[in-house]
Structure 1
Amino acid sequence: MRHWPAPEAAYATAPSIISEIGWTFRAARDYLHGIQGREFWLRKAALLDRIAVTDDEPAGGDAATLAVEAARRLMEIDHAAGLGPSGYADGPYTPDHPDSVREPRGYVRQEYALWIRHH
């Protein structure tokens, strides 16, 4: 049984990777000036996941490692905020669910698919 949306489904209506790199760069400046945000970490984690999915390196490559690290940061933020099953309370897996802990990038795909549907 597949728990998470496939990358193609989660990112089907996402802006281009180049566009998201630009957004992440601009948002990082705000983040570095003390403005934290779930959206920043969600979009950064999703961007890194998308790059890792298209990366020719094996699953243990740099892109995959960075994607997992960003996903874990998003999960920490969501857990600290006490978010329900998702940021919009309609996803099945919480950030501390065992499946989320095992597959942080899957959690990002779930949350991104929900987020993009609402934006």
Structure 2
Amino acid sequence: MINDPSGPEAAYANAPEIAAEIGWIAKHTNTPPADALAEREFRLRKAASLDRIALQEEATRPSGLAAEAIATAVQAAEDFATYDAEHGPLTFRGAELATADDFRAYVREEYRSWRHAQVA
């Protein structure tokens, strides 16, 4: 799975700490985005942070106890994909999303691409 470009290892390899991301999200929650790119970044970082939290829950807790974190991550991922579909940058891969895992993988792919662009 490590070579899977949509896998969490590849997507979140150089991501900031979850606490830092949550701080950034909280800071920007009540601030209207300056433009569509800022709105997309907010939604992407929120979905990715919730996905990372769900991944931690899945790894450390029984599935029944991780269910709420997983459902929250899936909802954020679906919201992000819906935003992308409505505003244009939804990739071909994104147009084929069908399952909860598909939506979370989409967030990982987009986050990895976004982080790569930030670091480059």
The two structures have a TM-score, normalised by structure 2, of 0.79
RMSD: 2.5
- Is the CA contact (8 Å cut-off) linking 1:4 and 1:107 kept in structure 2? no
What are the equivalent positions in structure 2 for 1:7-86 lying under 5 Å apart? Answer: 7-31=8-32, 37-55=39-57, 56-58=61-63, 61-85=67-91
Q: Deviations over 1:50-76 (max 9, x none)?
A: 000001241761110000000011101
- Is the CA contact (8 Å cut-off) linking 2:6 and 2:106 kept in structure 1? no
Take 1:48 and 1:84, find their aligned partners in 2: how far apart are those partners? 20
The two structures have a TM-score, normalised by structure 1, of 0.79
Q: Specify which structure has the higher proportion of helix.
A: 2
Deviation at 1:83, TM superposition (A): 1.5
Take 1:20 and 1:12, find their aligned partners in 2: how far apart are those partners? 14
Take 1:57 and 1:31, find their aligned partners in 2: how far apart are those partners? 38
Gaps of 5+ in 2: none
Gaps of 5+ in 1: 86-91
Deviation at 1:101, TM superposition (A): 2.5
SS at match of 1:14: coil
Take 1:31 and 1:68, find their aligned partners in 2: how far apart are those partners? 24
Deviation at 1:27, TM superposition (A): 1.2
Take 1:76 and 1:84, find their aligned partners in 2: how far apart are those partners? 9
Percent identical residues:
38
Where do 4+ consecutive residues of structure 1 move more than 6 Å?
none
Deviation at 1:84, TM superposition (A): 4.9
